[in-house]
Every structure is written in structure tokens, then in C-alpha cells.
Amino acid sequence: MLVLVINSGSSSLKYQLRDLDAGTVLTEGIVDRIGFPAEGGEVGVADHEEALEVVDAALHEVLAGRQIDAVGHRVVHGGERFGDPVLIDNEITRAIERLNPLAPLHNPANVLGIRAIAEKWPDMPQVAVFDTAYHRTLPERAWRYAVPDWLYTRHGIRRYGFHGTSHQYVAGRAAGLLGLEPAAFDGVVLHLGNGASATAVQGGRSIDTSMGFTPLEGLVMGTRSGDIDPSILVFLGRLGMSSDEIDDLLNRESGLKALGGSNDMRTLVEAAERGDAKARRALDVASYRLAKYVGAYHVAVGGAKAIVFTAGIGENSSVFRALVAEQLGALGVVLDTEANAVRSPEPRVISAPGSAIPVLVVPTDEERAIAEATAAVVSSALGERASR
């Protein structure tokens, strides 16, 4: 089956074409600056329909006469309704649109991508795979904020969690590496990229996660503050800062960038090794905060069978992994220094044989997870139709 995976943003459209039978990526790319004026000889792309024409032209050669069987969309917010990937129809598209207030930057852009495909290829099966879906199994004690009920009933203010596709995929691969069925896996998954979140997995299901109502809550991230005292927002408001300014401050000017002067882990590690005190402080704060979440989630899952690192920092930064692991001595965690230093695209164990909890590195692959989910939904829909 050939599946086109689409990640549609407000001004960009990322795509990847996968052959699921062969297990290969046929091509991938990004059309960006959608809606921006043409620049220096470049052709401008006015909207998502035009962007799709660019993608179609790029796919043409690779396809060499073969047909795309289905399109899988990364959709950021599935609200409380969507706990699984779904086949998209008009009602589903409108339901995704109704969630726009919860993800004003992302869901409207996802819908633009869905509509552009429906317009160009009306018979193409399309599947939505939601970033929040894996966390739909959070128990109420984990998703509820201790605030008056109308915030939830009127405005949907609760914890949703994000990076779900990645957490689910990585938890499944980690279970495989330990020789367990996914449903027998209890552990803590750490998705550490520019955005970062930790998830407590029990019996293969997400039971707690560090991102909340929005992807701002939780860990120290590239440019996001993670957890702070909410009174700081009130304080800043009283100083006269607007809500847009506060939003920008906490989402784009905070985190590692604010603490250490860069949101790039490589830059920070190099600077810290040269003795830069700000960079060292950034690594200290971020690794300490992360280690505290690992301790909390070890308790939440009733004893983790593994601690799993993934995404840009988790997969590549042996220094950051070591900083976190050093602080987990109370849990009996011991890294194997040599294994931790290995660079590899394969899932692997990096803890010492005597570690009380195995520590793993499992590369994430959200596109693969989306493509596989899309194929599963489309195959089962075709099966249902055939058996009717």
C-alpha cells in the first residue's frame, strides 16, 4: 500500500510517501512559505491547493504510474472525542474544525490540508491521526486541573497531552526490545526534541503525561518554559504585558534559549564543555526537572520496567542522557557509559546490566506510525464494505 503522510501547517506542507509493503520511504519534502509573496526568482505558493500541486508534481516521477492508496494526516488536537485514528468524511472534518479554539495555530491548518486533498482527489481515502489520541486513556485524576468545573464544562480546560503518536510508537518498540507484548509494558517515555514531553505508560496505555491543556506545560523545552507558577502570568499582566506578549515570552523566548542562550542542545553541550556557566545552568535545570518527572512517573506506573529516550535530544545527546541518569541513582539506575556513547539508528539498551531499571534509546518515527495507522484504518474500512 502506498500512503502519503501529510503534516499541514499554516504556512508549510510537509509530506512523505511510503511504500508499506516494501517498508520504504519513496520520497519526502516540504513546501513552505505558503501565502508569502514570491521571493528572488522563487515562485510564490498562494495557498494549500497550490502547495498540493507542487507536491503532486514532485510525486509524479517517483510514482511512475502507481497510485497513492491513502493519505494520512497528522492532526494536532483530537479533543475528548478522538482516541483512535479515523477515516475522514465531512462530519469528521467539521468535528476537527470545532476543536480549533483548543489548537488555534494547528487544527485550522490541518483542515486546510484535508480539504485541499478532498478537492484534488475526491475519492482518496483520508485518515486523521491525532497527536492527543494516545492520551485519551488518562484517568480523571491525571487530566483534571484543580479549578472550578465551568472551566472544563464551558471551555474544555483540562489536560490533553501531545506527542501521542510518538509516545505510543516508542512504547511499542521499547516493549519489543524487552521481549514484552505492548500491553504488558509499564515505563516512562521521554520525547525530548525542540518540544519535549514525558509519558507514564502502564499496560501499554498512557496514564499520565507532562504536556497539558497546551504543549507549554511540563518539561523545560527549546524555547518553552514548561511548568511555572501560574501567578507569574497574573503578575506580568498587572505589569501591563498583553496576553500575546506573555504567550510569546513563554512559548518562544523561554526554556533552554532563555537559560543558556540557545535552544540547540549541541550548542549548549559544546558551550558547557568550554566552561560557559549559562549553558551549564541550562543543562542543570532541564535535566533536574526531567529527572523529577521520571521519579513521579515511576511511582505513577507502579514501577517502571524501562525508561526510554527518544526524539532529537533523546536519541542523540549522550551528555544530556547521562545528566538525567546521574540524578536517578535513588531508583537504582546505572548507565553503561560505553553503550550510552554509541550512535545508532537502532533501538538499544544503554543501561548497565545491574541497573534496577533498564534505560533504552528508541528512535521515533511519527511518519511511519501515521502511515501504518492509515493503512490499518483504510484496510478495515474496505473489509467492512466488502462484508456488507
Catalytic residues: 131
User: Contact between 266 and ligand AMP (CB under 6 A)?
Assistant: yes
Name the strands in the sheet holding 12-19, side by side, starting at the edge strand that comes first in the sequence: 24-32, 12-19, 2-8, 70-75, 126-130, 86-87
Q: Which of 52, 265, 323, 359 binds ligand AMP (CB under 6 A)?
A: 265
| Whole-number Å distance between alpha carbons of 182 and 46 | 44
Binding span for ligand AMP by CB under 6 A among 55-63, 223-231, 240-248, 306-314: 306-314
| Shortest Å distance, C-beta 254 to ligand AMP | 14
Residue 292, marked binder: no
| Shortest Å distance, C-beta 196 to ligand AMP | 8
Binding span for ligand AMP by CB under 6 A among 9-17, 212-220, 298-306, 309-317: 309-317
CA distance readout (Å), 261 to 220, 243, 316 = 14, 24, 20
Identity of residue 320 = F
Q: Are 177 and 347 in contact (CB under 8 A)?
A: yes
Q: Give 17 or 220: the residue with its C-beta nearer to ligand AMP.
A: 220
| Shortest Å distance, C-beta 110 to ligand AMP | 19
| Whole-number Å distance between alpha carbons of 35 and 212 | 31
What dihedral do alpha carbons 166, 172, 174, 176 form, nearest 10°?
-150
CA distance readout (Å), 147 to 151, 152, 153, 157, 250 = 7, 9, 11, 9, 22
Site for ligand AMP in 213-242 (CB under 6 A): 222
User: Contact between 93 and ligand AMP (CB under 6 A)?
Assistant: no
Site for ligand AMP in 173-202 (CB under 6 A): 193-194
| Shortest Å distance, C-beta 331 to ligand AMP | 24
Q: Which of 264, 270, 276, 336 binds ligand AMP (CB under 6 A)?
A: 264
**CA triple 42-43-49, angle to 5 deg:** 140
Sign of CA dihedral 353, 358, 363, 369: positive
Q: Give binding residues for ATP as ranges.
A: 14, 191-195, 264-266, 312-316
Q: Give binding residues as ranges.
A: 7, 14, 74, 191-195, 264-266, 312-316, 366
* List of residues contacting ligand AMP (CB under 6 A): 193-194, 222, 264-266, 311-313, 316-317
Q: Give binding residues for substrate as ranges.
A: 74
